[in-house]
């Protein structure tokens, strides 16, 4: 047999065309198999199938059945002992938990129970549109009832469907609050601040808005509070559950000011919270399935349970009521049974001794009940019940016994089936074979054609094969040497066809509410492919250029050696390298070692990348955080090469052109004379980067070298003492610099004089942002913007400190930068893996600082980690963000943006004629490298823009450009109701812009680009364009200017206005200021025209 088998493994007995190869099948083999088959069958008369059946039966009875029996009985033997231990163990666990909470909670209940008559509060009227006096009066009415109850923690006006409703419990951001700044000694509220739906303070209401994002700032007399939104609620007691900060005092007349810890919940809220914690702990005790745990007090009122059965429910929302559940009345059936039995035995709620009972519940289930009494400090006591259904305890054993029985039966049957199958598959073909042989001995070869059906049992198959061959050879020898046609042997199996690599792309998309969301499994394989396409995973053959800056020669040598030992080649010029490796973190500094204008810029990796390559013999993918992003500098290089002033090509000059040219038309005309400033900028911008500086750049460099030679030579004479160094000198601000805080009155070109410094400070800004330190980030951003607009390189920290926006801390950093070329804090950030990974996470659409930090905190270090662990919990937006991440990561050139704008124009033409499309965002500001494509679209006829967003997005989807819609909002229509709302001073909720953020497939590259579509009615167009041209910091500055005013070019603007992308409003009257062009807005705000290219604050 063994011989036959090995022979069979060799390819085939037949040629490809099916002809028999004479002499390949050895006669010896044939003989062996033949004699095996015949002789053994004769001597042993036991049929093979009987033998197999017998084996099966023996196996079943000796192994499977005893195994089942032993398991079954053993499990029952120890039940009693286990049960006793278990019941006690449960009781002890529960007692521990109860003991932990009982005293605190009991104290709270005692305070709470003092005659709170919440029903009276609820009987007070619900009111609409009260004026301030009426509101105040009503609040005082409330106060008289609520006065004694510090436990109710808030109230206010709730906006429900546009109506004002008075409520208790702060669930919305609308209401009243009290200002205690006027008289910190007051024990009653003397001054209310009313914040109603229009978010504005009203007549008589006042002065300060106590808003504390940071509780540490709250003074001892702090009253009122807010979420991180607008100050809109009235607090009476404790802070709100999830806020970081809250109210310390009641503001009701007569309620004494008491000092409470900020952030510590009090009153009803604290009880609710504690009860929830308590219940959660019970829930987390490890118990048998369906075990019910309940705790009730000396009155039989349930305090907590381990399930969803309600305990004492303190509702702090509108209504502020609370409900109780009696253990023996309206509780869960098992609890009720336990409580009733306990009462019966003890004649009351007081439990004399621990109880262990077995009872049958109403549902027929037998229960093991454990009852324990837990004493609180003082007179009160609680009872703990643990009810274990017999089913959960013994049921599992019965279940497994049943399973064992079923499995043994199945096994036995399977064995019988196997015997039967063997009979069919082995014995029958063998019998047939024998028959054929017998025929053959009679020179009857007719059975040859019946041998097409081959056995699937290998050995049998081979026998058939060999026998067939033998018969065939005999037949052919006997007949006229004619070649026999035969089919290919089944020994050579058809090759398995490879799976289509992209098979998974079919059907991975689910459509959810019209959006497309990839499933997690798809995302994983997708990312594996897209993110790890590194062509050379090892160092072998890689050309590496190591920038020597910041590396001591030894380290440099060591690195080079290590890399070379792994097969890399160290090259001496960056342009010969596949990868550049550097310790530098600043793109500006790196760019001095690399020709950014060359067509192929090698990726720049950090040392960590090389170290990993060497260590693991395998290089990690060249993606952040292991790489340095050079885009800012590439942008600059591209700009130097062929700078075209953007405004002449954007086709949206109307937004700032003169007013007398009538309706908006897409046009390629140059800007009208009414905006001379912009024209001047365009011209000068072609002459060089310093275009907007009134005193020419050469003057600066003269100044610069003058002071350098003075200061520097002096300092070097005195052996370079810090005191004489230039960076210590008290240098006056550049006289042409407009040293103001408002970005809107300064000029912020893309090309400026402090790029290296700005780059480093930007790192810190970003780090602050990711760490959730928004205000700190803002300060860095303001300093950065000021430095961008500063008309020459900063030379000393004292000079820098004079700039508004640069304070002590940043000045110190600038000093360090001037002295050493780097800022340690920035270096640390740039090399911190926490920062690199969290910012990597946060670069995904839908993932912000909180989520990024959260993921990092959970130990995830890569997107793969996240998908593995959080795949199922990711929101649809984040899933889309991850799917689009490889595309969105890639920046766009101006050409890319223009290509998309052309497509949009074409699609718009398909909807109607006359649409105006203005590319805004960074593109309009002249950026060479853009993260996305922002466009504002309008039409001279307002009606045409009404349903445009729907039409446009549908058209883009239909034409295959858009698959993912990340954000969709139609805003509101400009209708009568809205006009009324405006008049009545309510929040003006009409004529917002409608917008959609989409993933847009760029035809030429196939890359999905983020395209933000903003649809604006013609009347809002100027504001929309101004609001969407940015930069972000410019927009914030603009809004501040509108709000607070300032002085620009000798003109004073008083402020009191409100700017948003849908309009400019008078803060006092809420009336819209009608503007037709961007220039109108600047003029109205008494600002000089700011060309878009100078808005890169």
Ligand X SMILES: Cc1cn([C@H]2C[C@H](O)[C@@H](COP(=O)(O)OP(=O)(O)OP(=O)(O)O)O2)c(=O)[nH]c1=O
For position 47 contacting DNA by CB under 7 A, the verdict is: no
**Is the CB of 593 or the CB of 1044 nearer to DNA?**
1044
**Is the CB of 273 or the CB of 405 nearer to DNA?**
273
Binding mask 201-240 for DNA (x = CB under 7 A): -------xxxx-x---x-x-------xx------------
Binds 1031: which of Mg ion, DNA, ligand X, none (CB < 5-8 Å by kind): ligand X
Binds 927: which of ligand X, Mg ion, DNA, none (CB < 5-8 Å by kind): ligand X
Task: Provide the b/e sequence for 762-793 (b: ≥16 CB within 10 Å).
Answer: ebbbbbbbbbeeeebbebbbbbbbbbbbbbbb
| Helix, strand, coil distribution of the chain in percent, nearest 5 | 45, 15, 40
The rounded Cα 287 to chain-centroid distance in angstroms is 35
Residues numbered 254-293 forming contacts with ligand X, rule: CB under 6 A? none
Q: Where are the alpha helices (DSSP H) in 60-177?
A: 65-77, 79-112, 118-123, 132-146
For position 845 contacting DNA by CB under 7 A, the verdict is: yes
- CA atoms of 981 and 989, how far apart (whole Å): 8
Token pair, residue 130, equals: 């009260």
Judge contact between 324 and 312, C-beta under 8 A. Answer: yes
**Is the CB of 711 or the CB of 919 nearer to ligand X?**
919
Judge contact between 595 and 574, C-beta under 8 A. Answer: yes
- Smallest CA-to-CA distance from 136 within 87, 187, 175 is with 175
Handedness of CA 412, 414, 415, 419 (dihedral sign): positive
**Is the CB of 705 or the CB of 983 nearer to DNA?**
983
**Is the CB of 803 or the CB of 920 nearer to Mg ion?**
920
Binding mask 998-1037 for DNA (x = CB under 7 A): ------------x-x---------------x---x--xx-
**Is the CB of 409 or the CB of 762 nearer to ligand X?**
762
**Is the CB of 101 or the CB of 891 nearer to DNA?**
891
Figure out which of the listed residues 175, 265, 389, 922 binds Mg ion, where binding follows CB under 5 A: 922
For position 989 contacting DNA by CB under 7 A, the verdict is: yes
The rounded Cα 783 to chain-centroid distance in angstroms is 30
Figure out which of the listed residues 223, 325, 847, 1085 binds DNA, where binding follows CB under 7 A: 847
How large is the C-alpha radius of gyration of the chain?
41
Query: Cβ neighbours of residue 558 under 8 Å, at least 6 residues apart?
Result: none
Token pair, residue 604, equals: 């720049």
For position 932 contacting Mg ion by CB under 5 A, the verdict is: yes
**Is the CB of 365 or the CB of 1035 nearer to ligand X?**
1035
- CA atoms of 88 and 77, how far apart (whole Å): 19
What is the three-class DSSP state of 139?
helix
For position 585 contacting ligand X by CB under 6 A, the verdict is: no
Sheet order of strands, 962-969 included:
916-919, 933-938, 1008-1015, 994-1001, 962-969
Binds 780: which of Mg ion, DNA, ligand X, none (CB < 5-8 Å by kind): DNA
For position 429 contacting Mg ion by CB under 5 A, the verdict is: no
To ligand X, the closest distance from the beta carbon of 137 in angstroms equals 42
To ligand X, the closest distance from the beta carbon of 929 in angstroms equals 7
Figure out which of the listed residues 449, 452, 493, 775 binds DNA, where binding follows CB under 7 A: 775
For position 921 contacting Mg ion by CB under 5 A, the verdict is: yes
**Is the CB of 568 or the CB of 900 nearer to ligand X?**
900
Single out the segment in contact with Mg ion by CB under 5 A; choices: 176-184, 335-343, 440-448, 930-938: 930-938
Task: Provide the b/e sequence for 1058-1091 (b: ≥16 CB within 10 Å).
Answer: bbbbbbbbeeeebebbebbbbbbbbeebbbebbb
For position 635 contacting ligand X by CB under 6 A, the verdict is: no
For position 848 contacting ligand X by CB under 6 A, the verdict is: no
- CA atoms of 762 and 444, how far apart (whole Å): 95
**Is the CB of 13 or the CB of 314 nearer to DNA?**
314
**Chain residue at closest Cβ approach to ligand X:** 1030
The β-bridge relationship of strands 543-546 and 569-570 is: parallel
The rounded Cα 279 to chain-centroid distance in angstroms is 30
For position 705 contacting DNA by CB under 7 A, the verdict is: no
To ligand X, the closest distance from the beta carbon of 998 in angstroms equals 13
For position 930 contacting ligand X by CB under 6 A, the verdict is: yes
**Is the CB of 611 or the CB of 865 nearer to DNA?**
865
**Is the CB of 685 or the CB of 1096 nearer to ligand X?**
1096
Judge contact between 842 and 770, C-beta under 8 A. Answer: yes
Residues numbered 1007-1036 forming contacts with ligand X, rule: CB under 6 A? 1028-1032, 1035
Single out the segment in contact with ligand X by CB under 6 A; choices: 289-297, 308-316, 517-525, 930-938: 930-938
Q: Give the DSSP per-residue string, 1012-1071.
A: EEEE--GGGHHHHHHHHH--HHHHHHHHHHHHH-EEETTEEE---EEEETTEEEETTT-P
The rounded Cα 333 to chain-centroid distance in angstroms is 43
Figure out which of the listed residues 89, 99, 172, 695 binds DNA, where binding follows CB under 7 A: 172
Half-sphere exposure of 644 (CA within 13 A, CB side): 9
- Smallest CA-to-CA distance from 267 within 252, 247, 253 is with 247
Figure out which of the listed residues 896, 932, 1076, 1078 binds ligand X, where binding follows CB under 6 A: 932
Residues numbered 873-912 forming contacts with DNA, rule: CB under 7 A? 875-877, 881
- Smallest CA-to-CA distance from 853 within 838, 869, 832 is with 838
**Is the CB of 467 or the CB of 888 nearer to ligand X?**
888
Binds 37: which of Mg ion, ligand X, DNA, none (CB < 5-8 Å by kind): none
Figure out which of the listed residues 921, 926, 999, 1063 binds ligand X, where binding follows CB under 6 A: 921
For position 922 contacting ligand X by CB under 6 A, the verdict is: yes
To DNA, the closest distance from the beta carbon of 638 in angstroms equals 23
- CA atoms of 174 and 156, how far apart (whole Å): 6
To DNA, the closest distance from the beta carbon of 820 in angstroms equals 18
Residues numbered 557-616 forming contacts with DNA, rule: CB under 7 A? none
Number of residues engaging DNA in binding (CB under 7 A): 74
- Smallest CA-to-CA distance from 107 within 266, 334, 306, 281 is with 266
**Is the CB of 370 or the CB of 932 nearer to ligand X?**
932
Binding mask 966-985 for DNA (x = CB under 7 A): -xxxxxx-------------
**Residues composing the chain:** 1097
Residues numbered 778-837 forming contacts with DNA, rule: CB under 7 A? 778-780, 782-783, 803-811
**Is the CB of 606 or the CB of 781 nearer to DNA?**
781
Query: Cβ neighbours of residue 638 under 8 Å, at least 6 residues apart?
Result: 597, 893, 928, 929
- CA atoms of 830 and 827, how far apart (whole Å): 5
Binding mask 432-461 for DNA (x = CB under 7 A): ------------------------------
To DNA, the closest distance from the beta carbon of 675 in angstroms equals 24
Figure out which of the listed residues 578, 636, 759, 934 binds ligand X, where binding follows CB under 6 A: 934
Judge contact between 384 and 374, C-beta under 8 A. Answer: yes
To Mg ion, the closest distance from the beta carbon of 766 in angstroms equals 17
Residues numbered 243-272 forming contacts with DNA, rule: CB under 7 A? 243
Token pair, residue 1026, equals: 């101004």
For position 1001 contacting ligand X by CB under 6 A, the verdict is: no
Label each residue of 470-539 as H, E or C.
Answer: HHHHHHHHHCCCCCCCCCCCCCCCCCCCCCCCCHHHCCCEEEECCEEEECHHHHHHHHHHHHCCCCCCCC
Residues found near ligand X in the complex (CB under 6 A): 921-922, 927, 930-932, 934, 1028-1032, 1035
| Positions that interact with Mg ion (CB under 5 A) | 921-922, 932, 934
């Amino acid at each position: 047999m063994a011989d036959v088998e090995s022979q069979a493994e060799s390819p085939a007995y037949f040629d490809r065309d099916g002809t028999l190869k004479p002499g390949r099948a050895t006669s010896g083999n044939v003989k062996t198999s033949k004699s095996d088959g015949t002789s053994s069958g004769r001597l042993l008369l036991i049929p093979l199938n009987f033998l197999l059946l017998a084996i099966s039966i023996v196996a079943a009875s000796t192994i499977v059945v005893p195994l089942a029996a032993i398991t079954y009985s053993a499990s029952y033997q120890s039940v009693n002992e286990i049960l006793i231990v278990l019941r006690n163990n449960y009781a002890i666990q529960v007692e521990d938990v109860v003991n932990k909470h009982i005293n605190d909670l009991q104290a709270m209940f005692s305070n709470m129970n003092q005659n709170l008559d919440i029903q009276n509060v609820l009987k007070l009227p619900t009111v609409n549109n009260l004026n301030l006096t009426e509101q105040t009066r009503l609040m005082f009415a409330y106060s008289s009832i609520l006065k004694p109850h510090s436990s109710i923690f808030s109230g206010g006006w709730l906006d429900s469907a546009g109506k004002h409703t008075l409520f208790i419990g702060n669930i919305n951001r609308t209401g009243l609050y009290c200002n205690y700044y006027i008289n910190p000694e007051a024990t009653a509220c003397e001054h209310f601040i009313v914040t109603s739906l229009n978010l504005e303070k009203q007549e008589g209401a006042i002065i300060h808005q106590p808003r504390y994002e940071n509780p540490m700032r709250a003074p001892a007399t702090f009253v009122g509070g807010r979420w991180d939104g607008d100050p809109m609620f009235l607090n009476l007691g404790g802070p709100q559950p999830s806020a970081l900060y809250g109210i310390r005092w009641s503001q009701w007349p007569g309620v004494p000011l008491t000092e409470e810890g900020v952030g510590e919940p009090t009153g009803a809220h604290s009880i609710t919270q504690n009860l929830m914690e308590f219940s959660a702990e019970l829930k987390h005790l490890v118990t048998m399935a369906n075990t019910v745990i309940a705790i009730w007090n000396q009155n039989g009122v349930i305090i907590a349970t381990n399930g969803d059965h309600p305990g004492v429910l303190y509702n702090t929302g509108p209504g502020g009521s609370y409900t109780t559940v009696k253990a023996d009345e309206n509780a869960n059936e098992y609890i009720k049974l336990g409580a009733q039995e306990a009462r019966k035995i003890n004649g009351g709620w007081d439990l004399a001794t621990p109880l262990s009972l077995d009872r049958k519940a109403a549902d027929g289930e037998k229960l093991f009940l454990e009852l324990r009494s837990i004493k609180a400090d003082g007179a009160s006591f609680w009872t703990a019940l643990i009810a274990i259904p017999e089913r959960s305890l013994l049921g599992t054993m019965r279940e497994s016994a049943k399973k064992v029985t079923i499995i043994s039966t199945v096994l036995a049957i399977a064995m019988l089936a196997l015997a039967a199958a063997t009979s069919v598959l082995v014995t029958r073909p063998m019998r047939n074979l024998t028959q054929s042989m017998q025929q053959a001995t009679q020179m009857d070869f007719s059975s040859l054609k019946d041998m097409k059906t081959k056995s699937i049992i290998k050995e049998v198959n081979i026998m058939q094969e060999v026998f067939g061959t033998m018969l065939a050879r005999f037949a052919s020898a006997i007949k006229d040497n004619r070649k026999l046609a035969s089919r290919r042997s089944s020994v050579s199996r058809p090759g398995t066809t490879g799976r289509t690599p992209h098979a998974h792309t079919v059907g991975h998309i689910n459509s959810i509410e019209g959006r497309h969301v990839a499933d997690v499994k798809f995302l994983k394989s997708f990312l594996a492919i897209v993110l790890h396409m590194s062509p050379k995973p090892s160092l072998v053959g890689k050309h590496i250029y190591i920038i020597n800056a910041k590396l001591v020669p030894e380290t440099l040598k060591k690195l080079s050696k290590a890399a070379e030992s792994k097969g890399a080649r160290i090259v001496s010029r960056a342009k010969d390298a596949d990868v550049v490796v550097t310790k530098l973190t600043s793109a500006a500094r790196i760019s001095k070692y690399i020709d950014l204008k060359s067509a192929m810029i090698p990726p720049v990796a950090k040392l960590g990348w090389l170290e990993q390559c060497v260590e693991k013999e395998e290089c990690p993918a060249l993606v952040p955080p292991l790489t340095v992003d050079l885009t800012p500098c590439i942008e600059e290089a591209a700009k130097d090469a062929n700078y075209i002033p953007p405004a002449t090509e954007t086709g949206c000059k109307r937004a700032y052109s003169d007013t007398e040219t009538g309706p908006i038309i897409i046009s390629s005309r140059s800007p009208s004379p009414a905006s001379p400033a912009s024209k001047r900028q365009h011209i000068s911008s072609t002459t060089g980067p310093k275009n907007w500086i009134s005193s020419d750049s050469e003057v600066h460099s003269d100044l610069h070298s003058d002071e350098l030679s003075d200061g520097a030579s002096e300092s070097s004479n005195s052996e370079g003492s810090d005191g004489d160094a230039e960076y210590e000198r008290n240098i006056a601000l550049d006289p042409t610099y407009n040293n103001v805080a408002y970005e809107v009155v300064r000029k912020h070109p893309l090309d400026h004089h402090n790029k290296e410094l700005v780059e480093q400070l930007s790192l810190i800004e970003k780090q602050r942002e990711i760490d959730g330190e928004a205000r700190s980030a803002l300060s860095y951003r303001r300093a950065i913007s000021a430095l961008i607009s500063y008309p020459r390189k900063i030379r000393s920290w004292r000079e820098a400190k004079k700039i508004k926006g640069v304070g002590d801390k940043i000045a110190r950093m600038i000093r360090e930068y001037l002295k050493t070329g780097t800022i340690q804090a920035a270096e640390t950030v740039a090399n911190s893996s926490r920062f690199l990974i969290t910012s990597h996470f946060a670069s995904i659409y839908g993932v912000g600082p909180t989520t990024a930090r959260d993921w990092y905190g959970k130990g995830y270090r890569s997107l793969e980690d996240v998908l593995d662990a959080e795949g199922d919990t990711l929101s649809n937006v984040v899933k889309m963000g991850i799917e689009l991440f490889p595309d969105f990561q890639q920046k766009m050139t101006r050409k890319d943006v223009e290509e998309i704008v052309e497509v949009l124009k074409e699609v718009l033409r398909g909807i109607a004629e006359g649409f105006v499309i203005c590319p805004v965002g960074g593109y309009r500001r002249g950026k060479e490298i853009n993260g996305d494509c922002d466009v504002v679209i309008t039409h001279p006829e307002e009606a045409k823009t009404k349903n445009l967003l729907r039409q446009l997005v549908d058209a883009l989807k239909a034409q295959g450009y858009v698959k993912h819609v990340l954000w969709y909002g139609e805003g509101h229509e400009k209708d009568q109701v809205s006009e009324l709302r405006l008049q009545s001073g309510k929040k003006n909720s009409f004529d917002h812009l409608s917008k959609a953020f989409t993933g847009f497939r760029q035809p030429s590259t196939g890359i999905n680009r983020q395209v933000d579509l903003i649809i604006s009615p013609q009347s809002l167009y100027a504001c929309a364009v101004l609001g969407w041209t940015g930069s972000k910091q410019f927009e914030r500055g603009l809004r501040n200017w509108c709000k607070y005013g300032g002085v620009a070019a000798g003109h004073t603007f008083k402020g009191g206005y409100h700017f948003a992308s849908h309009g400019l409003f008078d803060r006092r009257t809420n009336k819209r200021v009608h503007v037709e062009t961007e220039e109108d807005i600047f003029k109205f705000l008494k600002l000089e025209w700011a060309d878009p290219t100078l808005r890169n604050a």
